[in-house]
Chains A and B, each alone.
Chain A
Amino acid sequence: MFVQAPSGAGGRARDGARERPDLAALAARARPVSSAASRLLPLPAPLAPLFSDRALRRGSTTMVTGAPGAGATTLALTLLVGASRSGSWCGLVGLADPGVVAMAELGLDLLRLALVPAPGGAWAEAAATLLDGVDVVLVRAPGRVGLTAGRLLSARAKERKSALVVLGARAADWPEAPDLTVTVTGSTWVGIGTGHGHLRGRRAELSVTGRRSAGRETRHTVWLPAAAGAAAPLDAGHAGRSA
């Protein structure tokens, strides 16, 4: 079992190294719009280690789960950030009460984000249509998803070379085995006390399983989000330090 150690040591050496990922991120943003031919969609740096490709694979289905309030919605939205920032369109289906400000803080490009907050009974159809025209579709499953709808959507994602992210209460809500399942197994807010401070960051523990992880469960801890509102790797300083 791989545990990404939350280490606070070696501050000075890390300061220099910390600039490099920023440059890489900048270079990634300056690259032209990712072409449809490319098989991979970029992930934001803190989440890249979760995926064996270090990217979101086109045509794949990723399941995101977690106890209510643990941060599964934030995690699912963060999976879209890399693609959104490099020019891809993203679609959100079934997020009935979207927090648009948080989405912007997480790094999503609002100009290329379409929402279908209340598709009602047509949620699967809405998701299928979106998979035709945008690169990443996030669907909140309304409870347990039937076999037909699940197969249809996974097949559509594969055929259209889009990425499907499913947000569900439990992994069992999706009828077929997804390529990858990411679960928020625990999370802790920091920065808030009893009557003082404010929510600054949430340390979230993630577990990754599935076909694409070679059958091995991996565990990670990330800021989801950190103080600036976006996800951050755990070693990128204490989220509570900067306001």
Chain B
Amino acid sequence: MERLVALSCPQLLSEGERGEEPRAFLEVVHAVEAFCPWVETTSLGVCTLPARGPSRFFGGEASFVAQLRVAVAEVLGDEEAVGVGVADGLFAALLAARSDEVVAPGETAGFLAPWPVGVLGRPDLAVTLPRLGVHTLGQFAALPTRHVLARFGADAAACHRVARGEEGDLVGLRDPAVARRLRRLDGELPDVTPQAGFFGGVSDADVRAARTLARLQERLGPEAVVVGRLSGGRGPAERARLLPWGSRDADPASAPVPDGAPWPGRLPPPSPVTVLLRPRPAEVVDRADRPVRVTGRGLLSASPQRISVDGGPFADVGAWAGPYPATDRWWSTRRRQARLQVVLDSGGALLLAAERGHWSVEAAYD
């Protein structure tokens, strides 16, 4: 685990009405960069830098910390305006900065033990663990690893390793939107698009929307308000996910960048505007009313003539294209799927999928 120095400026942790904080913090970052170029902004008002190299150069850790403190106090005009912490790993260093402490190497777990579990930044754990009588990181660390993994999942297990001082980094400790914004303020990035993250929003509109959506979730439940994110995949349902607003994965910073990768078998745009959460069973028949099948070689047994959805009346097919094989392993017998685009004589277009001899309507192009 890398030993880190973290600086936290309590007055600059959030943006006030006049919006001066980012610029003031940028000056702090510049002052710190005079000591070492490897300064990382983790969130507004908080930055970190490696401890070992600069400490050697500036006469030891204590001396380095003191010099940093003076430099930042000069920028902000206030000695109390900065907390400096030194510890192993990002998570401990950030907490050490809050309490203005130097945590000796190897004493991370002991330092973390008294902190409440809420500092992990996981709302679900912060609610659930205290109900189980686990209030502090020390108590959390004492739980058996496999129980944490089994009951709370992989993310909680990562938190658990951090609480035990075995690992120092955790998803969500950094706010990349802030780093980008400071770089833009600094003129490194052109200020072209009104790019905005949304947690704690950057533009007024983002803040207003966030408040409204949270209100709606209180009323309708967290799962009722969702956002869409793109992901890799072939079928329309696999290429996007709906995630509850506010969930970690819905944070644009954690979203995978969609998708330069080619997906053989993926249909070209335009994509269907209606993608059924539950595909509806369909029948596809040829001119002689015999069921149309997809053959082992990926061809249709006959031209589709009419289709029926959910056992409803048959509608005439005007045009069709496909089948597009859509399996990861087309030669495998486990999941052999093919898709068919169909335009009905009524003008509507549907996307059908065939699997194990059964057709279903997957999406519609309304």
User: Which candidate, A46-54, A151-159, A184-192, is the interface stretch facing chain B?
Assistant: A184-192
- A30 contacts across to B, CB distance below 8 A: 192-193
Among A101, A113, A226, contact of B239 (Cβ-Cβ < 8 Å): A101
B271-A193 in contact (CB<8A)? no
Q: How far is the CA of A115 from the CA of B365 in the complex (A)?
A: 19
A102 touching B273, Cβ below 8 Å: yes
A43 at interface, CB cutoff 8 A:
no
A110 pairs with B229, CB closer than 8 A: yes
The answer to whether B268 and A193 touch across the interface, beta carbons within 8 angstroms, is: no
Q: Does A134 lie within 8 Å of B270, measured CB to CB?
A: no
Within 8 Å by CB of B228, from A86, A100, A187, lies A100
Interface size on B, residues (CB 8 A): 60
B261 sits at the interface (CB 8 A) = no
B343 within 8 A of A: yes
Within 8 A of B (CB), among A158-205: 186-189, 192-202
Counting CB contacts under 8 A, is A16 at the interface? no
A111 and B203 within 8 A (CB): no
A115 touches B225 (CB 8 A): yes
A contact residues around B300 at 8 Å (CB):
195
Binds A, one of B32-40, B45-53, B103-111, B215-223: B215-223
Q: Which of A101, A119, A126, A187 contacts B240 (CB 8 A)?
A: A101
List A residues 64-103 near B (Cβ within 8 Å). Answer: 67-74, 77, 86-89, 95-103
Given contacts A69-B348, A115-B227, contact A195 B215 (CB under 8 A): no
Residues of chain A within 8 A (CB-CB) of B205 are 33, 87-89, 112, 135
Give B235's nearest chain A residue, CB to CB: A101
A contact residues around B216 at 8 Å (CB)? 116, 126, 129-130
When distances are taken between beta carbons in the complex, the residues of chain A under 8 Å from B265 are: none
CB neighbours of A74 from chain B (8 A): 273, 365-366
Contacts of A69 in B (CB 8 A): 344, 346-349, 364-366
Please give, as numbers and ranges, the residues of chain A lying within 8 Å of B206 by CB-CB distance: 89, 112
Indicate if the CB atoms of B224 and A188 lie closer than 8 Å: no
Q: Assuming the A-B contacts A67-B347, A100-B242, A129-B216, are A32 and B228 also in contact, with contact meaning beta carbons closer than 8 angstroms in the complex?
A: no
- A112 near B219 (CB under 8 angstroms)? no
Please tell me which one of the listed residues B225, B230, B303, B349 contacts residue A114 in the complex, with CB atoms under 8 A apart: B225
Bound Cα distance A100, B241 (Å): 8
Determine whether the beta carbon of B270 is less than 8 Å from that of A199.
yes
Contact A70 B224 (CB under 8 A): no
Main secondary structure of the interface of B (DSSP, over half): mixed
With A69-B348, A89-B209, A115-B225 already in contact, the answer to whether A192 and B319 are too (CB < 8 A) is: yes
Chain B residues contacting A132 (CB-CB under 8 Å) are 212, 215
Taking the nearest CB of chain A, how far is it from the CB of B138, in angstroms?
A: 38
A199 lies within 8 A of B242 (CB): no
A152 CA / B267 CA spacing, docked (Å): 42
Give the docked Cα–Cα distance between A187 and B365 (Å).
12
Within 191-237 of A, Cβ neighbours of B (below 8 Å) are at 192-202, 225-229
- On whether the beta carbons of A105 and B194 are closer than 8 Å, the reply is no
Query: Across the two chains, which residue of chain A brings its CB closest to B212?
Result: A133
B196 CB–A CB distance under 8 Å: yes
Whether the Cβ atoms of A229 and B270 lie closer than 8 Å is yes
Q: Which of A77, A100, A133 has the most CB of B within 10 A?
A: A100
Interface residue A125 (Cβ < 8 Å from any Cβ of B): yes
Min CB distance, A84 to chain B, in Å? Answer: 11
A240 on interface, CB distance cutoff 8 Å: no
Q: Is the CB of A225 within 8 A of B366?
A: no
A159 to chain B, nearest CB (A): 15
Asked if A25 is at the interface (CB within 8 A of a chain B CB), the reply is no
Binary contact readout B127-157 vs A (1 if CB under 8 angstroms, 0 otherwise): 0000000000000000000000000000000
Taking Cβ atoms with an 8 Å cutoff, the residues of A that contact B are 29-30, 32-33, 36, 67-74, 77, 86-89, 95-106, 110-119, 122, 125-126, 129-130, 132-135, 186-189, 192-202, 225-229, 243
Not counting A106-B273, A227-B269, a sample of 5 additional A-B residue pairs whose C-beta atoms are within 8 angstroms of each other reads: A69-B366, A100-B275, A192-B320, A225-B270, A243-B268
Q: Which residues of B approach A to under 8 Å, CB–CB?
A: 192-194, 196, 198, 203-206, 208-209, 211-213, 215-216, 219-220, 224-230, 236, 239-242, 245, 252, 267-277, 300, 303, 319-322, 341, 343-344, 346-349, 363-366
Show 24 residue pairs from A and B whose CB-CB distance is below 8 angstroms, ordered by the A residue. Answer: A67-B347, A73-B274, A77-B273, A95-B274, A97-B274, A98-B242, A99-B363, A100-B242, A103-B228, A103-B273, A104-B230, A105-B269, A112-B205, A116-B224, A117-B242, A118-B224, A119-B220, A132-B215, A133-B212, A135-B205, A197-B321, A198-B268, A227-B270, A228-B269
